């Protein structure tokens, strides 16, 4: 199903405004560090969060807010400090919600709060407090500003918005995301905020989001590290005027497809913008006995440092892919595996039934020198499949992460 | 228990000779590519192997030989080609054993065979056949040559030998190893060949080796990739003249301690010589509820790309260590975790009860600029502990692996 993409990011759906400013959490004044997304009216809300046992204070507070009754009206998020492993973390996260209540009239428990940045450094409330008036005054069609304010080492803002019809009503979903380091979600990847004007009940929305991330954000890996602060939240304000989706129905199917279009698009953007990455790697596994087998194999390949480094070097070292499949923990049969590398330069079969096939090194270099590479695996054991996204491992990944904090 | 180290590597124990030559598997004539270790008499033998489902042909052949009756007399090993994922792999591995039978009179099924190098490229028997006379003629006190011949991107040969007494008889264990890329064993790490003149029954030897690797080679991680060819074998020829160790007894305890001294020393050498590594990282986890918990946490930290990159940058980014503990899958309590970085420059406490403690950035830089760093974690939940070894993640890792094959 194709969807019409539109501009506007999180402000594309009716009734949403956004803003992003520099409030002083970061020393660099040219870098925005505080974002706000506000709906005119209260929304159905849902969230998925990191499964890391060490969780940021904002994750704890947001989960508590959304789980209470599935309602929210605003999102506040800072970058430059993760507000994690701090003695006063919960107090600060609650303080951020209270500031939104004070300045926007949204009850504190209807606020989604998130933070991203260094772990274990005390986050002070003062810069946020001092910046609130400017943040609220800047609210408007400013999805890009909000997007910039949640970025850390992201090179590009990541945003998408689509348009579709439900029951004759024009509906939209918009989203912004930050990705990059520590991208290996089991639940969601770093920060993704989605907005929509669709009318949908909170429980149906939560179920749709939880299901979606299993085949979108959960299938990305940049470095195998899972963040303490991963959060993916959606707010749906109902202003599109459709009949509320409150059960399994054709309208829900359309909504889920539009949602998945957005999340897959963001997943690819996040993977491609992995720290230091020069290439998007898409791993398609088919012929698996189960979806679990397909997913595990795809993610194991995408996570292999040796595979990632070979992709960086445009080296058709397919043995490393077979090796990764072998240690995935899944009971594959090595002597049934077919493997191709594919890019817009063409298709390069490298392995059939577990053994190498002859190929031209020159053509291999052409195929692997493109900036989007598919690793296509057929396990030839069944009919299940999965897709995972990652990136190559480069000098710059090491450079960025060797001295991130100081 | 301290052991006296001696020279000689695999030739230190009585009755062992070794050799290493260039036979032509590698194009570079200055790089040896074929090694032989021969005992005067038949030995008790034991082995542990990769648990990767995709296994090299030599692993399959060696396992079959040793499992038959726990006996062996020679080890032949080539570098430059892994003899894995080749249609004729088993044939070539058997052919290598047959050549040892032909030239040394050791029955083919008493030969341990191993290969390391690129996966999926056909290994030809001719260069090995043509090199056998020179290989056998070179047999002598040449552990270093054999060690060089099994190296791939290893920067230094890795060898150890110790002396100890059992029942008044002077005994020795010697060993050579190769490590480097794809070092994340569940069973053993790349190639480790141990020799000893101790008299010990095959079943007791196998049990001792299997137990040992769980807290030595299995606790190393360089890049999280597990090789298709990992093999650790030991041959004990009994020439020390001790009463054969055939059950649980004080003699066995001494032997196991000497063995562990060698395997831990090699583990550290392998970790420190990880591809592109500039530092040995030792992670000590204590206060765990179980040994499994301690091991899992230690290995998760050692494997984290973000922790490894921070160590390269001498950046005391301890939040990444907490983050790794959090996604280890073990039920730790974040609010009980204590964390120190330690090196010969001193001890740097960075986290107490899950929260950061103030520290001097200058002193932190001093501590982390050393080439051996300990990451000491106290989970404060119980009394179990574990140690894991790894290395930092550097530009050179990416460089080496971005174009290894071509």
At residue A406, the pLDDT reads 44
Closest by Cβ to A401, choosing from B118, B226, B306: B306
CA B15 – CA B5 distance, rounded (Å): 18
Q: Do A405 and B354 touch (CB under 8 A)?
A: no
Residue B293 Cα distances to A52, B300, B330, angstroms: 16, 11, 6
Given a contact cutoff of 8 angstroms between Cβ atoms, the answer to whether A392 and A275 are in contact is no
What percentage of chain A exceeds 90 in pLDDT?
A: 74
A152 in reach of chain B (CB within 8 A): no
Could you tell me which of A141, A249, A140 has the C-alpha nearest to residue A198? A249
List of chain A residues whose C-beta atoms are within 8 Å of the C-beta of residue B331:
53
Cβ contacts of A279 on chain B, cutoff 8 Å:
none
| DSSP H helical ranges for A138-201 | 143-149
Predicted confidence (pLDDT) per residue in A276-306, tens digit: 788 999 999 999 999 999 999 999 999 888 8
A377 touches chain B (CB under 8 A): no
**Which pLDDT does position A218 carry in this prediction?**
87
B358 touches chain A (CB under 8 A): no
pTM of the model: 0.81
A190 touches chain B (CB under 8 A): no
- Mean pLDDT of the region A230-238: 96
Predicted confidence at residue B181, as pLDDT, reads 53
Cβ contact A315–B405 (<8 Å): yes
Judged by average pLDDT, the poorest of B17-26, B29-38, B80-89 is: B80-89
| Nearest chain B residue (CA) to A50 | B327
Q: For A216-276, where are the alpha helices, taking DSSP H only?
A: 250-272
Q: Output the pLDDT for position A242.
A: 97
Asked if the model's pLDDT at residue A187 lies above 50, the reply is no
Q: How confident is the model at residue B189 (pLDDT cuts 50, 70, 90)?
A: very low
User: How would DSSP label each residue in B215-253?
Assistant: TTGGGEESSS---SS-EEEEEE--TT-PPPB-SSSHHHH
Q: Establish if A360 touches chain B: CB-CB under 8 angstroms.
A: no
Q: Mean pLDDT for chain A?
A: 91
Sign of CA dihedral A359, A363, A368, A373: negative
Is the CB of A305 inside 8 Å of chain B's CB atoms? yes
Please count the residue pairs, one from chain A and one from chain B, whose beta carbons lie less than 8 angstroms apart. 219
Active site residue A189: yes
Asked if A98 contacts A108 with a C-beta cutoff of 8 angstroms, the reply is yes
CATH architecture of the domain covering B280-402: Roll (3.10)
**Quick one: pLDDT band at residue A141, thresholds 50, 70, 90?**
very high
ipTM (interface predicted TM): 0.73
A178-187, B144-153, B225-234, range with the lowest pLDDT: A178-187
> Residue A184: which pLDDT band, with cuts at 50, 70 and 90?
very low
CB contact (8 A) between residue B317 and residue A404? yes
Is residue B282 within 8 A of residue B389, CB to CB? The reply is yes
CA distances from A384 to A256, A282, A306 (A): 21, 17, 26
Q: What is the pLDDT of residues B86-125, one digit of tens each?
A: 889 999 999 999 999 999 999 999 999 999 988 888 899 9
Taking a contact as any Cβ pair under 8 Å apart, which residues of chain B between 265 and 304 contact chain A?
Answer: 303-304
Residues A336-382 pLDDT 10s:
999 999 999 999 999 999 999 999 999 999 999 999 999 999 999 99
Q: Is A276 helix (H, G, I), strand (E, B) or coil?
A: coil
Average pLDDT taken over every residue of chain B:
91
Q: Is the dihedral of CA A50, A55, A61, A63 positive or negative?
A: positive
Give the domain ranges of chain B. 4-270, 280-402
Q: Which fold has domain A4-272?
A: 3.60.70
For residue B229, which of B57, B56, B83 has the smallest C-alpha distance? B56
* DSSP structural state of residue B335: G
B334/A54 Cβ within 8 A: yes
Of B182, B224, B355, the CB nearest to A224: B224
- Would the pLDDT of A10 be above 60? yes
For chain B, how long is the longest CA-to-CA vector?
Answer: 68
Does the structure show a pLDDT above 90 at B276? no
Cα–Cα distance between A300 and A324 in angstroms, integer? 6
As a CATH number, domain B4-270 is 3.60.70.12
pLDDT at A162 over 80: yes
Q: What are phi and psi of B323, to 5 degrees?
A: -60, -45
Percent of chain B residues past pLDDT 70, beyond the cut: 93
**What's residue B403's pLDDT?**
57
């Amino acid at each position: 199903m194709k969807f019409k993409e539109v501009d506007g990011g999180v402000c594309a759906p009716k009734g949403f405004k956004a803003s992003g400013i520099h409030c002083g959490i970061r020393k660099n004044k040219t870098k925005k560090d505080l974002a706000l997304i506000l709906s005119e009216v209260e929304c159905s809300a849902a969230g998925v969060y990191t499964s890391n046992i060490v969780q940021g204070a904002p994750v704890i507070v947001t989960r508590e807010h959304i789980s209470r009754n599935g309602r929210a009206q605003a999102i506040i998020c800072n970058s430059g400090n993760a507000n994690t492993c701090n003695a006063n973390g919960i107090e600060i996260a609650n303080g951020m919600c209270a500031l939104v209540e004070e300045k926007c009239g949204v009850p504190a428990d209807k606020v989604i709060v998130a933070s991203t940045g260094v772990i274990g450094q005390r986050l002070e409330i003062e810069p946020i407090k001092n910046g609130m008036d400017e943040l609220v005054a800047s609210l408007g069609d400013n999805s890009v500003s909000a997007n910039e304010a949640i970025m850390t080492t992201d090179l590009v803002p990541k945003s998408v918005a689509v348009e579709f019809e439900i029951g004759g009503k024009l509906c939209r979903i918009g989203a912004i995301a930050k990705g990059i380091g520590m991208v290996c979600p089991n639940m969601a990847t770093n920060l993704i905020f989605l907005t929509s004007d669709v009318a949908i009940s909170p429980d149906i929305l939560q179920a749709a989001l939880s299901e979606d991330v299993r085949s979108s954000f959960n299938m990305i890996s940049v470095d195998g590290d899972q963040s303490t602060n991963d959060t993916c939240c959606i707010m749906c304000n109902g202003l599109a005027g459709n009949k509320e989706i409150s059960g399994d129905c054709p309208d829900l199917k359309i909504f889920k497809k539009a949602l998945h279009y957005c999340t897959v698009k963001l997943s690819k953007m996040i993977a491609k913008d992995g720290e230091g990455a020069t290439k998007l790697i898409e791993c398609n596994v088919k012929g698996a006995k189960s979806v679990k087998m397909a997913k595990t194999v795809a993610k194991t390949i995408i996570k292999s440092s040796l595979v990632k480094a070979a992709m960086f070097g445009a080296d058709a070292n397919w043995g490393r892919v077979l090796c990764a499949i072998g240690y995935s923990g899944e009971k594959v049969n090595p002597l049934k595996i077919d493997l191709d590398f594919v890019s817009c330069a063409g298709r390069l079969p490298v392995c059939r039934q577990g053994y190498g096939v002859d190929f031209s090194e020159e053509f291999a270099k052409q195929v692997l020198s493109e900036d989007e590479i598919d690793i296509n695996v057929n396990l030839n054991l069944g009919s299940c499949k999965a897709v995972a996204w990652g990136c190559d491992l480069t000098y710059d990944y090491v450079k960025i992460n060797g001295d991130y904090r100081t």
